[in-house]
Structure 1
Amino acid sequence: MKSVPVRIRPSQRLDDNLLARFERTHLRCRAEMEHWLEAVPHAAAMLCFKGNDLQLVSVNKTFYSSFLESSDPDAEMPYCQDWRERILEVALADNVSSSFELRRDGPLGPEYFSCTAGLLPSNEEGVNLILFTAMDRTSDRVTERNLRRELLSDGLTALPNRTGFGEEIDDRLRNTPWAGNSQFGIIAIDLSRFSRVNESLGPMAGDELLITVAKRLKSNLRQGDVLARIGGNDFAIFARLNNGLSDCLHIVQRVKDALNSPIRLSDLQIRVDCAIGCALSTSLDDDPDDVVRKAQAAVKIAKRSGKVEIYRNGVLKEAQRRFSIESRLRTALAQGDLTLAYQPLIQLQTGEITGFEALARWNDPDLGNVSPCEFIAVAEESGLITPLGRWAAYEAAQALSRWDAKFGQALPVGINVNLSPIQMARDDVASMFEEALRYSGVSGKRLTVELTESAIIADPDKARKLLVALKDLQMPIAMDDFGTGYSNLASLHSLPIDILKIDRSFVSTMLEDKDKQAIVRTILSLAESLNLHVTAEGIETQELAHALQSMGCGHGQGFYFARPMPENEAFDYWRARWNFETI
C-alpha cells in the first residue's frame, strides 16, 4: 500500500517529499514495513516524531479506507487532533505504549475505535518511530448501549426501572439548571388490589393494566418530570418543585385525575385505586436514593390510612427498625431465642387459678426487649406469623406437659394460645393443634384458642370450618378483645364459641365511665343468654375485681393478680395458690 500523507493539524501542510526523505534517513527496509502494516488485521499506521513534528509515514489499507479515503486533505478533521495529542504524549514522555478510545461522528451515527500507540526502536537520536493501531469497536459499543438500555428500563412499560430511575435523577440534578430555592420531590404510587386483577383475569390482563396506567401517568407529567416503574405494581415520579409542597400536591392531584376514569380490560371496566406517598428533599445535595426510600416509607403508611401521606421525620427510621426486627426475628425463630410468658386467669368468685394465657416475649442481644405489639405486627406483615404461631402452640402444649410431670399428674389448669388472623388464613391450623396435642400428650380441653372478631369477619365460612375442626379436638374457643370488632348476635349464636373476653379498653376505666360500665353489663347479659363464659381483661385494682365479681363476671386477668411470668414462676405461682385464696 502506497504511503499517504495526512493533514495532522490545520497549520501544518506536509511536504510532498516527506516520505522519500524519511525513507532515506530512517527506513532502509520501507517495503518490509509496509508488509508489516498489511499484516495487522485492523487499521494501522507508522508515524515519525522528530523535532516536535509528528508526521505520518505509512498506512495499511484498513487505515486508509477508515480514515483517509473519504477525507478531504484540505479539510480539518477534528478527530485527528485527539489521537495526535495522545501520540505526542507517548513520544514526549518516552512511554512504551498508550491506549485510548477514539469517538467520531460517522454517516450512520457515532463510531468508536480502540486505539494504541507504541514506540518502536530507532537508530537515530531524537527520532521516535510510533506504531498506531485503531480497532473498530462500534458494534461492541452499540451492543453495550442496547444492553444498558434494557438493564435500565422496564420491558413491559418502557419506563425506567429502579436503577434507571436513579440514573435519570442524577442526570437531571447534574445537567439541569436549578434556581436557588428549588427542590425535588419523589411521589411513590402503589396500585391497590392489583393482585386481584392477576388472580381473576390472568397475568396478561394485569400487564395490560400496568401499560395503560403507565401511559396515563406519563401523559400527565410536566416537562422535566421522570416517571419510572420501580416494582411490580409500584410507580414513582421525580418532580422538580419550585413551590415546595404545593407543587407536589398539584402533581398528586394530576395523578389522581389520570387514574380517576375506569380502565377497560376485556369486557370489564376496572377502577384503579392507589396509595400515594411523597417525600421532599431539603436541598439539592440530598441523596436521591434516600428520598426515594422515604417516599416508599410514606406510601406504606398511605396503604393503611387511605390518604395521601407526606414523609415525616422518623418514618424512615421506623421502617428501618421494622426491617431490623424482621431480620432478627427470623434468626430468633430459627435459633429458638423467643420465650413464652404466662399470665394467670382467675376465677373471680373463688380466686382459683383456672389457666394461663401464653404471651410471646423476645429479648434480642442487639435490639433489647422488643414489645410484642411491635414484633407481632412485623411478623404479620412479613409472613413470619405462621412459624411464630406454630412455635407458640407447640411450646404452650409442651409447657403443660412439663407442669404435669412436675406435679405428678395433670394440673387442673389450661393454657390459652392466641391465633392471628393471618395465620388462620394461610396455615393449616387444625393440623397444627392436633400435632401439638399429640406430641405433648395433653388433652385438647386444656388448650384454648383465642381469636379476634376480625379473624372471623374476614372469612366467616372458613372460620366456621376451622372452629368446628378445633371443637372436634375438644378445644375451647375464646373470642378475644370482644366489643371492639364487628360481631353480631347471629355470628355468636352460629359459631361454636365458648368464652368472651371483654377488651381492657372497657374494663380498665369502667368505674369512672358509666357508659363503659353499661357496655360491660350488656356483654355479661349477652353471654349469660348465650350460655358463654366471660373473662375480663385489664383488671389492675382490687376495686375493679370486686366490681366485676359483683356484676357476675366469671373470670378475670390483669396486673392486679399477676404480670406475665416465665414458665417455672408460673408453675410456682399456681402451686402457692393451690388453696384458692379469695380475691
Structure 2
Amino acid sequence: MTGGNIAKAIPPVMPPGLTAAEGALELLPIAAVVAGFDGERLIRETPNAIFRRLGLDRTLEDIGPRIATFLAKGDARAEFAWDIGDAVERRHFTVTLARIGYRAEPRCFVSFVDHTGELRTEQNLRREMTIDSLTGLPNRGGFGDRLEAQIAEGETACAVLVVDLDRFGRINACLGSMAGDELLMAVARRIKGALRTHDVLARTGGDEFGILLSIDDSRDEAEHVAKRIRAVLAAPFRLSDYEIQVTCSIGIAFIEDAVTEAEDAIRHAQFAVRRSKESGQAEAYQNHAFVRAREEFALETQLRRAIAEEQLTLHFQPICDLSTGRIVS
C-alpha cells in the first residue's frame, strides 16, 4: 500500500502488577473504586489513584448502606449527591453506582465526580447578585429573598421598615457622587448600630434602606427602632469641608397584615414613606389610605384622559368678588 502511513493503535502501558481492569481504573480522570457487600461488611476492591489521593475510604464506608441496598435490589445503576467535610472545606460529589455483571459475587463500580468548584462559582455569582457592591449589605433582591424565606416559614411576627433619605439627590448633585457614596456608607453604619444583632439591614434603592425586624412583644418595637434610627442620623455627617445634616422618612409595614409576598410588604412600607414625608414622623401602613390613594390615582388618570380627548364640558362659571371671595353672580 502506498501514498500514506498506516496509524497503529498503541495500547496503554499498564503499571506493573495490575490487571487490565485495575489499569483501566487508574486511567480514569475521576475517583473510582470497585466495591461489594458480603452480607455483613463492605468490601473495597481496586481503588484508583485519585480515589486514594482524595482519601475517600471513610466516605465509601459512609455510603456503604446505600451500596448494600443497591446490590440487594438488583438495579443496574443508581446516582445520588453526597457532601463531605465541614462548612468551610465542604466538597460536593455526584456518586454513581453501576453493577458489574461478570462477577459471581455482587459488585459495583463506584465513581465520584467532584462538583465543588462549579457549586462555589455558582454560590459566588448568586452572592454577587444579592449584595450591594457599595455598602456590602443585601440589595433589593437579597432583601426580598430573606423576607420571602421568613414568610414561607410562617414567621409573621416581624415588620419591614423602609428608610428614605431626604434631599439626598441635592447632596449628590452639589458635592458629587463620591461624596454621596461616602454618605451612604456612613448612614448604613449608623443605622446598623441602631439595630439588634438579628435584624436585617439592606440597601434597597439609591438612597433607600430596608430593615427586617423580628417583633417579640408588640408592634411598638418597630416604632422604637424607627425613633432610634432618626436619633442616630440626627448628628451631622462630616464630608470633606462640609457638615451635612441628614433627615429621613420611615415607613413601616407589618407582615401579619395579610401579607403573603415579600414585594407586598416592601411596597406597603414604601407607601407609608410618602405619608411619613408629609407628617415628619414614622408612619405605619394603613390599608384604607392605600385604597384611597389608588382611587385618587385612578380619578387623576381618568381626568387626564378626558382633557386629552376633550370630554369635559363647562356648564357653570361663577363670578367671584376677589376682595372677599364671595360669589356675586
| TM norm structure 2 | 0.81
- Which residues in structure 2 correspond to 1:61-80 (within 5 Å)? 61-67=49-55, 77=58, 79-80=59-60
Task: Sort the Cα spacing of 1:309 and 1:189 in 2 relative to 1 into closer, same or farther, 3 A.
Answer: same
- Which residues in structure 2 correspond to 1:312-323 (within 5 Å)? 312-317=286-291
Question: Does the alignment pair 1:190 with 2:164?
Answer: yes
Q: Distance in 1 between matches of 2:203 and 2:143?
A: 8
User: Quick check: 2:165–2:208 contact (8 Å CA) kept in 1?
Assistant: yes
**Deviations along 1:261-288, whole A, 9 cap, x unmatched?**
1111111111111111101232798544
How much does 1:101 deviate? 2.3
The amino acid across from 2:90 in the alignment is P
- Which residues in structure 2 correspond to 1:164-243 (within 5 Å)? 164-169=142-147, 183-243=157-217
Q: Distance in 2 between matches of 1:236 and 1:82?
A: 45
Question: Does the alignment pair 1:522 with 2:323?
Answer: yes
User: Quick check: 1:101–1:113 contact (8 Å CA) kept in 2?
Assistant: yes
Partner-residue secondary structure (3-state), 2:163 = strand
Question: Does the alignment pair 1:117 with 2:97?
Answer: yes
Give the equivalent residue in structure 2 for 1:463: none
2:108 pairs, out of 101, 121, 130, with 130
Partner-residue secondary structure (3-state), 2:196 = coil
Q: Distance in 1 between matches of 2:269 and 2:178?
A: 29
1:139 pairs, out of 103, 112, 117, with 117
Runs of 5+ unmatched residues, structure 2: 1-16
* Percent of aligned pairs sharing the same letter: 31
How much does 1:91 deviate? 2.3
The amino acid across from 1:99 in the alignment is E
How much does 1:197 deviate? 1.7
Task: Sort the Cα spacing of 1:159 and 1:321 in 2 relative to 1 into closer, same or farther, 3 A.
Answer: farther
Give the equivalent residue in structure 2 for 1:99: 79
Q: Distance in 2 between matches of 1:320 and 1:93?
A: 63
1:161 pairs, out of 124, 129, 139, with 139
Question: Does the alignment pair 1:83 with 2:63?
Answer: yes
2:282 pairs, out of 294, 301, 308, with 308
Partner-residue secondary structure (3-state), 1:340 = coil
User: Quick check: 1:184–1:284 contact (8 Å CA) kept in 2?
Assistant: no
Partner-residue secondary structure (3-state), 1:522 = coil
User: Quick check: 1:276–1:299 contact (8 Å CA) kept in 2?
Assistant: yes
User: Quick check: 1:82–1:102 contact (8 Å CA) kept in 2?
Assistant: no
User: Quick check: 2:259–2:265 contact (8 Å CA) kept in 1?
Assistant: no
Partner-residue secondary structure (3-state), 1:36 = helix
Q: Distance in 2 between matches of 1:238 and 1:262?
A: 26
Q: Distance in 1 between matches of 2:164 and 2:285?
A: 15
Partner-residue secondary structure (3-state), 1:135 = strand
- Which residues in structure 2 correspond to 1:466-485 (within 5 Å)? none
Partner-residue secondary structure (3-state), 1:259 = helix
User: Quick check: 2:238–2:244 contact (8 Å CA) kept in 1?
Assistant: yes
How much does 1:115 deviate? 2.0
1:32 pairs, out of 20, 34, 39, with 20
Give the equivalent residue in structure 1 for 2:311: 341
**Deviations along 1:101-137, whole A, 9 cap, x unmatched?**
222226962222222222232353xx33211111222
**Deviations along 1:283-307, whole A, 9 cap, x unmatched?**
7985444322211221122234433
User: Quick check: 1:122–1:128 contact (8 Å CA) kept in 2?
Assistant: no
**Deviations along 1:428-478, whole A, 9 cap, x unmatched?**
xxxxxxxxxxxxxxxxxxxxxxxxxxxxxxxxxxxxxxxxxxxxxxxxxxx
Question: Does the alignment pair 1:44 with 2:32?
Answer: yes
User: Quick check: 1:90–1:98 contact (8 Å CA) kept in 2?
Assistant: yes
User: Quick check: 1:278–1:295 contact (8 Å CA) kept in 2?
Assistant: yes
The amino acid across from 1:141 in the alignment is L
The amino acid across from 2:135 in the alignment is T
Q: Distance in 1 between matches of 2:229 and 2:148?
A: 23
How much does 1:158 deviate? 0.6
Task: Sort the Cα spacing of 1:322 and 1:209 in 2 relative to 1 into closer, same or farther, 3 A.
Answer: farther
Q: Distance in 2 between matches of 1:314 and 1:93?
A: 63
Give the equivalent residue in structure 2 for 1:403: none
Question: Does the alignment pair 1:269 with 2:257?
Answer: no
- Which residues in structure 2 correspond to 1:452-471 (within 5 Å)? none
**Deviations along 1:361-387, whole A, 9 cap, x unmatched?**
xxxxxxxxxxxxxxxxxxxxxxxxxxx
- Which residues in structure 2 correspond to 1:442-457 (within 5 Å)? none
**Deviations along 1:543-579, whole A, 9 cap, x unmatched?**
x5xx33xxxxxxxxxxxxxxxxxxxxxxxxxxxxxxx
Partner-residue secondary structure (3-state), 1:48 = strand
Runs of 5+ unmatched residues, structure 1: 1-28, 72-76, 349-501, 508-519, 525-535, 537-543, 549-583
Task: Sort the Cα spacing of 1:340 and 1:84 in 2 relative to 1 into closer, same or farther, 3 A.
Answer: farther
The amino acid across from 2:313 in the alignment is Q
User: Quick check: 2:151–2:260 contact (8 Å CA) kept in 1?
Assistant: no
How much does 1:210 deviate? 0.7
How much does 1:338 deviate? 5.2
Larger Rg: 1 or 2?
1
How much does 1:340 deviate? 1.2
Q: Distance in 2 between matches of 1:129 and 1:175?
A: 44
How much does 1:65 deviate? 1.1
The amino acid across from 2:142 in the alignment is G
User: Quick check: 2:192–2:201 contact (8 Å CA) kept in 1?
Assistant: yes
1:148 pairs, out of 106, 112, 126, with 126
| TM norm structure 1 | 0.48
User: Quick check: 1:183–1:283 contact (8 Å CA) kept in 2?
Assistant: no
Q: Distance in 1 between matches of 2:18 and 2:299?
A: 77
| Bigger relative CO (Cα 8 Å, ≥ 6 apart) | 2
Task: Sort the Cα spacing of 1:302 and 1:107 in 2 relative to 1 into closer, same or farther, 3 A.
Answer: closer
User: Quick check: 2:79–2:97 contact (8 Å CA) kept in 1?
Assistant: yes
**Deviations along 1:66-97, whole A, 9 cap, x unmatched?**
125xx7xxxxx4x4455323333432333332
